[in-house]
Amino acid sequence: MTTESPRWFKSSYSENGGNCVEVATNLAPAHGVVPVRDSKAPTGPTLTLTTDAFTAFVTGVKTAQF
């Protein structure tokens, strides 16, 4: 992906019993990607989305399209 390290964070709304994802938006400006991972498995696989795909996903969640 990149040599820059992702800085992972969870939403402030993530106190729902552990069903959370973490994102690393620090890579978006320089690399155009937003890595996403399961907070319960931080060493597991990472899904890397383009910034456009991540924006579309967040918009879809906020507008109840899913």
- Residues 44-62 have pLDDT tens digits of 999 999 999 999 999 999 9
Which residue range is the domain that position 32 belongs to?
A: 1-49
Token readout for 31 is 């690399």
Cβ atoms of residues 66 and 60 within 8 Å: yes
Residue 35 lies inside a defined structural domain of this protein: yes
Cβ atoms of residues 40 and 14 within 8 Å: no
Residue 64 lies inside a defined structural domain of this protein: no
> How many domains are contained in the chain?
1
**18: which residues sit within 8 A by CB, 6+ positions away?**
39, 40
Residue 37 lies inside a defined structural domain of this protein: yes
Give this prediction's pTM. Answer: 0.81
pLDDT tens digits for 1-32?
Answer: 446 899 999 887 777 667 788 999 999 999 99
Residue 20 lies inside a defined structural domain of this protein: yes
Residue 31 lies inside a defined structural domain of this protein: yes
Chain centroid to CA 51: how far? 10
